[in-house]
Amino acid sequence: MNLDALLDRLAAVEPTEQPFISLYVGTRPDNTGRAHWGPIVRKELAERARSFGERTLARGTYDADAGRILQWLESEPRPSAHGLALFACGAARIFEAVELNVPVETELVVGRGPHLYPLARLLDQGRRYAVAVTDTHQARIFVVALGGIRERKSVENAKLSRPAAGGWSQARYQRHIDKFHIDKFHREHAKELVETLHRIVREEGIERVLLAGDEVVIPLVREALPKMLAARVVEIGGLDLTSSEAEILTQTLEIERREDARDDAGRVAAARAGRLLAELQRVLDAAPPRHMVTPGGFRMSVAMSNCGAVGWVSDAGGYRYDAIDPDSGRPWPPMPASFLESAQRAAVEAGYRGFAPDACLISRYEPGARLTLHQDRDEEDFGQPIVSISLGLPALFLFGGLKRSEKAARVPLGHGDAVVWGGPARLRYHGVAALADGLHPLTGRFRFNLSFRRAV
């Protein structure tokens, strides 16, 4: 069974009105050599049934799905499997059951759609990461896999290395080395560290590098990072060259777990995003993107379109929402169900229930296109949030404050990422930095953004 394909298939499932059962079973025998999962799973499934009212439709479909699961569990799995994953919802016409060759935690989740993070996590197993701890003279690099340090390397700046114990003698060095040279040596050290890291990452197929260092060396390392490496680096605090290996291991395992959880969520989102793109194509065929003109007479670098009951338009007369596409004279294309569903899912995850967008502003960015800091304030109801979904090429989202002058945070956004802002943040300034050139497997040289609002 191809788990990747399974994940994609399940990620495309629309939420259902009826219960959707996701069941992960750890089937490894305990130290007596016996597997105990059978009775546990039966009990869990039976207990959960009681959360539905007797003789309700939900209870009926749940019982039917649970019955099918039990039947499969009794007849199918080989004793050699380490784990099992089952997904069942008759109402959504889904029944998937797979044997896993890696252990999983037993977990029963009943919701409106499949629970996919454990599956996404399985696909990521066996991942290794590197940790680099550095100051301006010296660096230690560790490769961590399967929860332990597997390899150690150190990089030392020969010209500026300090004596083994104690600080280096300021007085002696200052006589020989002026500030310019020190900077140069620091830069050389950063470069050497980056080269070593680059080699390790390439040779060992490492996906993530956790980097710790002081405020002098980190900017120099950042500057020296080639693109491929920069994309894998996560800067972390709390470690330095005096940290013990145990500290390095426990701290980075924790960070790695957090980053993994983010990646798993990202994988699921990316699998869903593929479907949004297919719908987007249909919408844009009906209402092609166009470069609107600002009231001040500037042609926008981002090409825009809309779907939904109303669409955002800008022309010499100002900004407004309009039910008619001025280019075609016809209403905007309707908002596809999968758009609405993704927007509502993101809103709920961010804590906004009942989001009912009537407009989806579609923005198409090509390399160089950007959106200057602005507020979204053409909507009537600021009580509802903005939900923004990114597709295709990555971008840097600029998220400022309530005043234009406040410094904006730079948030990297990738394919399938969603940003939600509402409540006290509803009127925060935001924008997009000039899009870097690139090639995305699904969108080529474009980034698309879907921005959902309650406009009228």
Helical ranges in 237-288 per DSSP H: 245-286
Shortest separation between residue 347's beta carbon and ligand SIN, angstroms: 16
Q: Which residue has the tokens 């099918």?
A: 68
> What is the contact mask toward Fe ion in residues 404 to 423, using x (rule: CB under 5 A)?
--------------------
Do the Cβ atoms of 26 and 105 come closer than 8 Å? yes
Are the C-beta atoms of 26 and 100 separated by less than 8 Å? no
Nearest to 182 by CA among 197, 170, 196: 170
Q: How far is the CB of 389 from ligand SIN (least distance, A)?
A: 9
The rounded distance, in Å, linking the Cα atoms of 155 and 160 is 12
* Among 35, 200, 27, residue whose Cα is nearest residue 130: 200
**Whose Cβ is closer to ligand SIN: residue 213's or residue 422's?**
422
* Closer to ligand SIN by Cβ: residue 160 or 269: 269
Could you tell me which residues come within 8 angstroms of residue 74 by beta carbon, excluding any fewer than 6 positions away?
A: none
Question: Nearest to residue 253, comparing CAs of 386, 348, 102, 144?
Answer: 144
Residue 328-367 contact track with Fe ion, rule CB under 5 A, x = bound:
----------------------------------------
In the complex, the smallest distance separating the C-beta of residue 226 from ligand SIN, rounded to whole angstroms, is 27
Residue with smaller CB distance to ligand SIN, 22 or 388: 388
| CA triple 420-421-424, angle to 5 deg | 155
* Nearest to Fe ion of 243, 375 (CB atom): 375
Min. distance of Cβ 141 from ligand SIN in angstroms?
A: 36
Closest to ligand SIN by CB, 160 or 303: 303
Cβ proximity to Fe ion, 65 vs 376, nearer residue? 376
Look at the block and give the residue holding tokens 């001040």: 296
Rule CB under 5 A: is residue 325 a binding residue for Fe ion?
A: no
Least distance in angstroms from the C-beta of 353 to ligand SIN: 23
Residue 305 site contact among Fe ion, ligand SIN, none (CB < 5 to 8 Å, cut-off depends on kind): none
Instruction: Residue 200: name the closest of 153, 238, 148 by CA.
Output: 153
Helix 337-349 crosses helix 245-286 at what angle (to 10 degrees)? 150
With CB under 5 A as the contact rule, which of the stretches 140-148, 210-218, 369-377, 419-427 interacts with Fe ion?
Answer: 369-377
363 binds, among ligand SIN, Fe ion, none (CB under 5 to 8 A by kind): ligand SIN
Q: Which residues pair with 233 in a beta bridge?
A: 209
* Contact status, residue 231 vs residue 212, Cβ threshold 8 Å: no
Q: Which residue is nearest to ligand SIN (CB)?
A: 449
Residue of 264, 376, 379, 417 that binds Fe ion (CB under 5 A): 376
Tell me which residue has tokens 């961590």: 144
- CB closer to Fe ion, 260 vs 376: 376
CB of 386 to ligand SIN, least distance (A): 8
Residue ranges with strand state E in 90-137: 94-100, 107-111, 128-134
Shortest distance (Å) from residue 427 CB to Fe ion: 11
Question: Which residues are near ligand SIN by CB under 6 A?
Answer: 361, 363, 371, 388, 397, 430, 432, 449, 451
Minimum distance, C-beta of residue 132 to ligand SIN, in the bound complex (Å): 32
Instruction: Identify the residue whose tokens are 């390392």.
Output: 221
Which residues neighbour 230 within 8 Å (Cβ) at sequence distance 6 or greater? 222
For residue 449, the partner it binds in Fe ion, ligand SIN, none, with Cβ less than 5 to 8 A by kind, is ligand SIN
How many angstroms separate the CA atoms of 22 and 17, rounded? Answer: 15
Q: Which does 217 bind (CB under 5 to 8 A by kind): ligand SIN, Fe ion, none?
A: none
- The residue ranges that bind Fe ion (CB under 5 A) are 376
